[in-house]
A and B are shown apart, each in its own frame.
Chain A
Amino acid sequence: MIALLLRDLKLAFRAGGGFGLGLAFFLIVTVLVPLSVGPQTSLLALISPGILWLGALLANLLSLDRLLALDWEDGSLDLLATAPLPLEVALGIKAFAHWLTTGLPLVLAAPVLGVLLNLPTAGVSWVVISLLLGTPALSVIGTFGAALTVGLKRGGLLLSLLVLPLYVPTLIFGAEVSRRGAVGMDVTTPLLMLAGITAAAVALLPYASAAVLRVNLR
């Protein structure tokens, strides 16, 4: 398990792994928003939690097609499927590695980018907490989408069409936590819902991912 995790991390960090791409994309999206809606600071402060969530979500989506496709091409997925390690666990590990290389950097970058968007100081901690709680769900859901489309030649666009509706509940509650936190309202209910969605997704979705991956591998 640990060997698989380390292998995925190494592949992501070393040259050609595309580790920084998601982060750079996140930066560009947040820079483009003030350019498109204009630089009024009051407006930006209002929408900044939502922008940060949307940027994190898109950056996450962008890195999904690399999640399984490379292993599919060189055949290591077949080896993983026949290995003694259950495929559910292997996919859980891969989702975790994806979160470590994509989700976690986004969480850490969010406060810095929040400054660019004039995010109110009260909101910074809630944006970070909601992203920290929500991005694991994005990685696990994305792994399911990647497993669904891994055998397809032009899976990229289809992957977004399949995965984005599944992201909706996470996005709604995550952005709601950040929005309420930024204006100083009570965040307990959406925060609990967000944590619940993440916990359920992490616990259950690897089974669905492994089931569809087995179909794709047969």
Chain B
Amino acid sequence: MSLWEYANPRKFLTTSERLLPWFWGLAGLCLVAGLIWGFFFTPDEARQGATVKIIYLHVPAAMLAINAWIMMLVASLIWLVRRHHVSALAARAAAPIGAVMTLIALITGAIWGQPMWGTWWEWDPRLTSFLILFLFYLGYIALWQAIDNPDTAADLTSVLCLVGTVFALLSRYAVNFWNQGLHQGASLSLDKEEHVANVFYLPLLVCIAGFILLFVALVLYRTGTEIRARRMAALLARERAGA
């Protein structure tokens, strides 16, 4: 029993169909529980007041925005090395989700920044690098859509993902150059003292779990859609060739 069995589209589809209800259910449960807990059953923060509660959307979305790209990178590498179609389709399926997560992180950040920093937008390193990440997502999605041949598209977007990763990292550290900016440092860590107080931390963890489960469910679902779309195209092509 090896992991690569799931590279078979049929095996992937049957397994993901069995798993999907669980992921949807658990994601919904975690999100509802975490958001209600966070919004209504935690105290207001001393200096920030009620605005701190947007953290339950902002931080999970920002984490997923980065991790979705890393997942695309891994899937692209698997496609380039082992030529599993499911892998390429999973990367394609994850890209719009990652772009939306980046957008959520940017918008909630702006809404949070307005009362706290007195500005919607600031050319702060973290904000700028997220905006650049969003542009990378746009380019990646546009390249997928521009190419008709699916294998060519998978190859080109995979290479773009690899090259883009290097340049996205470079940009991330390049913008650090201007100044340290308004954004605080990492708000979560497992081993350091300096993270948010436990009363905010626990519901935040539930929300993060909910976002991750939601992401997995969406990727599985969208990959299934892509596989079926590919099958439809193959059937149609066969029909045209026969007729």
Contacts and interface: CB of A to CB of B under 8 A. Distances in A.
B174 interface: yes
Contact of B164 (A152, A154, A166, A193): A166
Contact of A208 (B135, B142, B159): B159
Nearest to A157: B142
Nearest to A205: B163
B136 interface: yes
B16 interface: no
Given A152-B147, A216-B156, A165 B132 contact: yes
Contacts of A108: none
Interface residues of A, number: 28
Contacts of B243: none
A161 B155 contact: no
Nearest to A214: B155
A158 interface: yes
Interface in A166-184: 166, 168-169, 172-173, 176
A148 B142 contact: no
B145 to A, nearest CB: 9
A208 B162 contact: yes
A151 B147 CA distance: 9
A68 B182 CA distance: 44
Contacts of B146: 149, 152, 154-155, 158
B79 to A, nearest CB: 12
B162 A165 contact: no
Contacts of B103: none
A212 B139 contact: no
Interface string B136-158: 10110011001100001001100
A107 B177 CA distance: 24
Contacts of A148: 143, 156, 159-160
A148 B140 CA distance: 11
A124 interface: no
Interface string A101-145: 000000000000000000000000000000000000000000010
Nearest to B129: A168
A165 B177 contact: no
Given A152-B146, A193-B174, A165 B152 contact: no
B143 A158 contact: yes
B152 A215 contact: yes
B143 A162 contact: yes
Contacts of B174: 168-169, 172-173, 193
A29 interface: no
B139 A162 contact: yes
B138 to A, nearest CB: 6
A215 B171 contact: no
A168 B130 CA distance: 13
B167 interface: yes
A54 interface: no
Q: Which of A165, A166, A172, A216 has the most CB of B within 10 A?
A: A165
A172 B167 contact: no
A63 to B, nearest CB: 20
Given A215-B152, A215-B155, A169 B162 contact: no
A193 to B, nearest CB: 7
B160 A162 contact: yes
Interface string A196-213: 010000000100100110
B136 A216 contact: no
A55 interface: no
Contacts of B136: 165
Q: Which of A172, A173, A218 has the most CB of B within 10 A?
A: A172
Interface in B96-148: 132, 135-136, 138-139, 142-143, 146-147
26 contacts: A144-B163, A148-B143, A148-B156, A148-B160, A152-B146, A152-B147, A158-B142, A158-B146, A161-B142, A162-B160, A164-B135, A165-B132, A165-B139, A165-B168, A165-B171, A168-B167, A169-B167, A172-B171, A172-B174, A190-B177, A193-B174, A212-B155, A212-B159, A215-B156, A215-B159, A218-B152
Interface of B: 132, 135-136, 138-139, 142-143, 146-147, 152, 155-156, 159-160, 162-164, 167-168, 170-171, 174-175, 177
